[in-house]
Structure 1
């Protein structure tokens, strides 16, 4: 007996929970991998006698790898399928992490970290595409948003485990800290075993029989292609579709808001103690301030995950960029004021930017069709990492040359550029079926109505 229920309206079930765990595990490993090098760096540099040139390259190697892996991984994911690419990242993490036990030079470590970054670049498009193509529409936003929380959880775990391994391992402790990623990524490989291919991707390639079989295996014999709101014929779309017509406009929106929200975050997160020191905070305030800022990044992502359905995507993004930009602007204006005000404004920035952070995974997955979804996420990842590298590189020089106040004004200006672009271009995709949200045709229905917020009446 057939079931008339759309697969986007079925209750969140055991398969969805397992898939969310499989994809969230990738974000956890990403946070762990990117953070563990910061803990090991002070010990590995003298141990291997690495000069400042290779130290700098090693510091940015993973970001460069993410840039390369994001675009290539997205393109391969759309071409060869989600399932095949789902294992590339964990394999690279595991192999390269183990090899760090024997690395003996700066160039060698740079290559291993670059490959690990490429693995992270693969993770973003494939893991998010898998989630969005299987999840019911009510769970789509919160589950994609939660990936940012798992990233910070992985970063926190890296700090705790890394420090413990360095203390226990003596002179070679930093090697064990770097190699510890293999345990986490190895577990992720086991968890992902048995993941089926995405029916939406199979349909986009004309493989409807396989898609029907997978739907029945997951949801039961009463379900089939008729329950999946997806166009039955493959659309004539390619990577070039990201650069012209309506999808070119959407790609501009995604890459702009993503980059504008990432640059200040990387600068603040990477140089929090240096920035706080430039704001004349003493050592105690600087240490506590760094911890509070990190905590508020996590809290902001938690709150944004809860609000993404209640407030809506567009309203959440606009409010996030507005209030976080204002916090940076006030920081620049009151850079000579009291310590508590400085920490409070930084904490406010970290909290409010959570909305833009979680939407980095949601928007590109919802507003691009199956045929180019992963490559859109990959391109957004790559372009935003260019901004992250540039921002991270320029912050120390900017503080030294133009001062902390003007540096913060510049960061606020970048955030406001993202705000203006989002105000003009951000669509509302809450409660919209995936095929409609990714279509260039005008949307109709209740989901198009803006949610209540301080700004939405003006938008």
Structure 2
């Protein structure tokens, strides 16, 4: 399995697994457009507006824990479709929401389903994908987050024209891509590794032959060393507490401004004098810039190195936010250029959210560490998103952008102090507490 060629099955599985990140970007971004109509119609206070904006993030935090537990207990394949069915139902139900409480609850449930899909889909993809392609296919899922966000802004702009109920159609629209993904996922086989682990040997061998050909047998599955679950105390006792702290802080600083911009992009651009259609289309353009930034970062991470990339990404994207804070009344073209610059340059920190945690921890604690850091970052993102409407009201757009720039400064400082360089190292060398000096010359491809 690990050395099999990349087949059509693997490509389809990667595409279908990317549905979760796509819906994540879509759900978190469409609310920013919809809020333009929701706020006056439901008479939302700044606090209620922030809670609704952050509700899906809170749900993702809860759902990731739950999804990981359930997929290990009941399997990947069944939950692979059930979680999206929940998204469909809750998305449609939003159409009839009449008060902020129900809207908050429904978006919380949608966030839980989206969050649950991450461990479910990525586990299934990782357990089928050959080792040579596992990294690129898993890492490429982040691209679909930005695709979903860009599509959400375009759809939101189109649905604003249907009248006062436009926001209802926007929020319900997530059901359409979720339905398509569910239909595509039907028939996906269960992970043979999970089946074998549960003692269902005949079923596992049947899946192996279906995917890899009649010559494949259960003997092709490598025996994996059993490891007991590692909790937070064990991570700290093992000497990785410092790395855990760095990953949590770096990850949080990299996504708090980004998620706030996605949740309230049109409102932020409106405060910067880019209103109406220009604000929504501007948000879509910025999302495309985020996507371009991630692609550029992926192409340069091995050449530039992890440590310089994360520091430069924080510093120069923070400068763009600083200028937006100092000059909130600048011409529209200047504002768009600065937002686009932030979106492209912050791509370095975005892709390192997937690279750094997996390189800096050994196999015994890697899953626990990545899950813990992801949860901590979502808490920060939810708090930041909740505070954005109040910050816009109390501080104005200039002060809000300055606060976002300050978060980037924190990320740059902690990275300058604690970020290691793992370029060109073998995985076990990068994960060692005292890694060897980076090898001279051109680093090996990762």
- The two structures have a TM-score, normalised by structure 1, of 0.76
- Distance in 1 (CA, whole Å) between partners of 2:201 and 2:421 is 31
Residue of structure 1 equivalent to 2:34? 40
Which residues of structure 1 form unaligned runs of 5+? 1-6, 454-459
Residue of structure 1 equivalent to 2:225? 233
- Given that residues 26 and 148 in structure 2 are in contact (C-alpha distance below 8 angstroms), is that contact kept between their aligned partners in structure 1? yes
Superposed displacement of residue 161, structure 1: 3.2
Compared CA separation, residues 347 and 98, structure 1 to 2 (3 A) = closer
Aligned equivalent of 2:182, options 173, 177, 189: 189
Compared CA separation, residues 401 and 164, structure 1 to 2 (3 A) = closer
Residue of structure 1 equivalent to 2:346? 353
- The reply on whether 1:92 has 2:104 as its aligned counterpart is no
In the TM superposition, what whole-angstrom CA distance separates every residue of 1:230-272 from its partner, at most 9, and x where no partner exists?
Answer: 6623112244455542565554343222111011212344455
- Given that residues 93 and 172 in structure 2 are in contact (C-alpha distance below 8 angstroms), is that contact kept between their aligned partners in structure 1? yes
What aligned pairs does 1:117-136 form with structure 2 within 5 A after superposition? 117-136=111-130
- Given that residues 77 and 375 in structure 1 are in contact (C-alpha distance below 8 angstroms), is that contact kept between their aligned partners in structure 2? no
Of residues 32-41 and 317-326 in structure 1, the stretch that sits farther from structure 2 once superposed is 317-326
- Distance in 2 (CA, whole Å) between partners of 1:331 and 1:15 is 46
Compared CA separation, residues 104 and 78, structure 1 to 2 (3 A) = same
Residue of structure 1 equivalent to 2:148? 154
What aligned pairs does 1:248-287 form with structure 2 within 5 A after superposition? 248-271=241-264, 287=279
- The two structures have a TM-score, normalised by structure 2, of 0.78
Q: What is the aligned-residue RMSD (CA, Å)?
A: 4.2
- Given that residues 321 and 404 in structure 2 are in contact (C-alpha distance below 8 angstroms), is that contact kept between their aligned partners in structure 1? yes
In the TM superposition, what whole-angstrom CA distance separates every residue of 1:157-209 from its partner, at most 9, and x where no partner exists?
Answer: 233334444545x5544433322222221221122223334455567667777
- The reply on whether 1:12 has 2:10 as its aligned counterpart is no
Q: Any idea what SS the aligned residue of 1:428 has?
A: coil
- Distance in 2 (CA, whole Å) between partners of 1:93 and 1:232 is 34
- Given that residues 320 and 341 in structure 2 are in contact (C-alpha distance below 8 angstroms), is that contact kept between their aligned partners in structure 1? yes
Superposed displacement of residue 150, structure 1: 1.5
Compared CA separation, residues 32 and 265, structure 1 to 2 (3 A) = closer
- Distance in 2 (CA, whole Å) between partners of 1:427 and 1:95 is 45
Superposed displacement of residue 125, structure 1: 2.6
- Distance in 2 (CA, whole Å) between partners of 1:451 and 1:268 is 40
Q: Any idea what SS the aligned residue of 2:96 has?
A: coil
- The reply on whether 1:293 has 2:278 as its aligned counterpart is no
Compared CA separation, residues 87 and 441, structure 1 to 2 (3 A) = farther
Compared CA separation, residues 164 and 361, structure 1 to 2 (3 A) = same
In the TM superposition, what whole-angstrom CA distance separates every residue of 1:39-92 from its partner, at most 9, and x where no partner exists?
Answer: 333445555x45436444323221221122123323433454433432343021
- Given that residues 145 and 305 in structure 1 are in contact (C-alpha distance below 8 angstroms), is that contact kept between their aligned partners in structure 2? no
- Distance in 2 (CA, whole Å) between partners of 1:162 and 1:336 is 26
Superposed displacement of residue 330, structure 1: 5.7
Residue of structure 2 equivalent to 1:3? none
Compared CA separation, residues 187 and 362, structure 1 to 2 (3 A) = farther
Residue of structure 1 equivalent to 2:411? 418
Which residues of structure 2 form unaligned runs of 5+? none
Matched pairs, number: 439
- Given that residues 27 and 152 in structure 2 are in contact (C-alpha distance below 8 angstroms), is that contact kept between their aligned partners in structure 1? yes
- Given that residues 91 and 171 in structure 2 are in contact (C-alpha distance below 8 angstroms), is that contact kept between their aligned partners in structure 1? yes
- Distance in 2 (CA, whole Å) between partners of 1:129 and 1:76 is 12
- The reply on whether 1:324 has 2:317 as its aligned counterpart is yes
Of residues 335-344 and 289-298 in structure 1, the stretch that sits farther from structure 2 once superposed is 335-344
Of residues 312-321 and 35-44 in structure 1, the stretch that sits farther from structure 2 once superposed is 312-321
Compared CA separation, residues 427 and 226, structure 1 to 2 (3 A) = farther
Residue of structure 2 equivalent to 1:456? none
